[in-house]
């Protein structure tokens, strides 16, 4: 047990403050492993990445599957609303999440209506022994209202770290930790950097705890005086790309393990470009997959020539070295029968699609392009989702957008598995860990995002900045 003084299941309505890497997940796992009741503990968190990480840790620690039920807060809300659509008063189309900015708030309010109605009290008490909510600092105000309402039905303990509260944006404020502790009394804090102790890098972990306090109070971070596990990678402000590309290729100290490369969350194109140019790197994708949803909305088989160019555009957005211009030139000569060379596999698949535009022939084309010479898929999540949507639409004879939405919703409950080298942002890697963390544009991050980024690696941290001092605004 990480902190045997904190028994989560004895907390009726309370909170635990847990800095990054201080054993929060272990404490939850130990709690579940010791749970001997007939009813499972409901464990909620915010992201699918978080669900995948928790499930992997629970499995590794041999926590009995019957001891818990695991979901995201929004995923659990969707289940409640889908089971009781009339009581929730939510339009069925909202569950398709085709307009996430409007649909998620509506979904949360519908779930709150259900919980406040009293109609679920008996069912929830019969289904769960306790509620544990992880990463609570990232709760939006409506999500906090939902959990608070649930805590009136089930005994509840929430765990989080106000220095990792990074998901409040777009007019959706997070619940403040002061308010959290007014509703969920302080049940204790974790203060031992277990992640780094277990990795044999305890001084690194202690330094990160000191940096947490420095960032919280507005003390600058001096990049010229660092422990051995931290490197300052100076970036040329006038020409930053070569330096970023070099930093993205850093290897793990032991030659094995994973590297997380964190970029500006607002520059998705920059993330994709970096992944496409970094050997072995792939992008981490937001679960909404907005760009693929937009593709599915406009893709149509009614005009094969237009659809072909749309498929080429999709391929070019997920693979390197597609050679679309040369491919189009070759197809033109092949169709006019002026080509001197016979068609290759990719050209044959493209011609077959033009002759019989179906979802199956679209799949065949994408498969052939993926196997092309020197081609590397750097957005595998998007490609897999596209292929799965095409298969589902072909097999079930349903609209492509509906097929994609089903595929996307299934991915919400499976989470993401990270490869050895991933490019994303703090928003995508929050709650995850690897051997190495690379922080791009560290000088542009606010205190909370910087702290989250710095604490993702257990063995090595690479901080990219043109300046030798990081001084983000103080956190209130």
DSSP 363-396: HHHHHHHHTSTT--BS-HHHHHHHHHHHHHHHHH
DSSP 92-133: GGGGG-SSHHHHHHHHHHHHHHHHHHSTTHHHHHHH-SEEEE
139 contacts: CB under 8 Å, gap ≥ 6: 46, 73, 133, 147, 174, 175, 180
Dig out the tokens for 2 from the structure.
């990480």
**What pLDDT is stored for residue 1 in this prediction?**
41
pTM: 0.85
Distance of CA 165 to CAs 13, 136, 155, 176, 184, Å?
21, 8, 24, 9, 17
pLDDT digits (tens, 9 = 90+) for 286-315: 888 999 999 999 999 999 999 999 999 999
Model pLDDT for residues 161-191, shown as the tens digit of each residue: 999 998 876 677 899 999 999 999 999 999 9
3-state secondary structure of 429: helix
The ranges of the chain with pLDDT < 70 are 1-5, 49, 169-170, 412-416, 476
Query: In the prediction, which pLDDT does 336 show?
Result: 94
Domains of the chain: 8-192 (3.40.50.300), 197-280+419-470 (3.40.50.300), 290-411 (no CATH)
Tokens of 20: 């990054």
Question: By CB neighbour count within 10 A (0-12 exposed, 13-18 middle, 19+ buried), where does 320 fall?
Answer: middle
* Per-residue pLDDT, 473: 82
User: At 45, is the secondary structure helix, strand, or coil?
Assistant: strand
What is the strand order of the sheet 421-424 is part of?
230-234, 457-465, 434-439, 259-262, 421-424, 282-283
**How many CB atoms are located within 10 Å of the residue 376 CB?**
16
């Amino acid at each position: 047990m990480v902190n045997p003084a904190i028994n989560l299941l004895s907390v009726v309505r309370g909170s635990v403050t847990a800095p990054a890497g201080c054993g929060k997940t272990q404490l939850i796992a130990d709690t579940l492993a010791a749970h001997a009741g007939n009813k499972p503990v409901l464990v909620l968190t915010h992201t699918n990445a978080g669900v995948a990480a928790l499930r992997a840790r629970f499995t590794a620690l041999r926590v009995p599957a019957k001891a818990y039920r695991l979901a995201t807060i929004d995923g659990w809300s969707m289940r409640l609303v889908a089971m009781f659509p009339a009581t929730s008063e939510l339009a069925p189309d909202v569950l398709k999440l085709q307009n996430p900015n409007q649909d998620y708030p509506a979904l949360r309010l519908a779930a709150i209506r259900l919980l406040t109605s009293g109609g679920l009290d008996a069912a929830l008490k019969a289904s769960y022994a306790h509620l544990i909510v992880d990463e609570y600092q990232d709760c939006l105000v409506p999500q906090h209202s939902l959990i608070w309402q649930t805590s009136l039905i089930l005994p509840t303990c929430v765990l989080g770290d106000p220095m990792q509260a990074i998901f409040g944006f777009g007019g959706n404020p997070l619940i403040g930790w002061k308010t959290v502790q007014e509703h969920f009394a302080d049940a204790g804090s974790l203060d031992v950097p277990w992640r780094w102790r277990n990795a044999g890098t305890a001084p690194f972990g202690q330094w990160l705890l000191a940096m947490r306090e420095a960032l919280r109070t507005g003390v600058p971070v001096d990049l010229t005086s660092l422990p051995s596990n931290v490197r300052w990678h100076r970036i040329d402000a006038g020409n930053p790309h070569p330096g970023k590309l070099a930093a993205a290729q850093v290897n793990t100290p032991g030659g094995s393990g994973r590297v997380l490369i964190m970029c500006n969350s607002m520059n998705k194109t920059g993330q994709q470009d970096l992944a496409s140019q970094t050997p072995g790197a792939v992008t981490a994708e937001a679960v909404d997959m907005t760009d693929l949803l937009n593709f599915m909305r406009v893709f149509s088989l009614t005009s094969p020539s237009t659809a072909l160019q749309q498929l080429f555009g999709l391929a070019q957005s997920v693979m390197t070295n597609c050679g679309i211009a040369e491919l189009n030139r070759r197809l033109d000569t092949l169709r006019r029968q002026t080509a001197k060379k016979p068609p290759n596999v990719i050209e044959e698949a493209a011609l077959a699609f033009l002759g019989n535009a179906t979802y199956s022939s679209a799949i065949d084309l994408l498969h052939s392009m993926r196997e092309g010479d020197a081609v590397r898929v750097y957005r595998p999540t998007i490609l897999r989702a596209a292929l799965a949507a095409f298969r589902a639409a072909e097999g079930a004879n349903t609209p492509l957008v509906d097929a994609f939405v089903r595929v996307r919703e299934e991915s919400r409950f499976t989470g993401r598995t990270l490869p050895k080298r991933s490019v994303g942002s703090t928003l995508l890697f929050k709650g995850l860990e690897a051997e190495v963390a690379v922080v791009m544009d560290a000088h542009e991050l606010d205190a909370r995002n910087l702290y989250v980024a710095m604490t993702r690696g257990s063995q090595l941290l690479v901080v990219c900045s043109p300046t030798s001092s990081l001084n983000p605004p103080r956190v209130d």
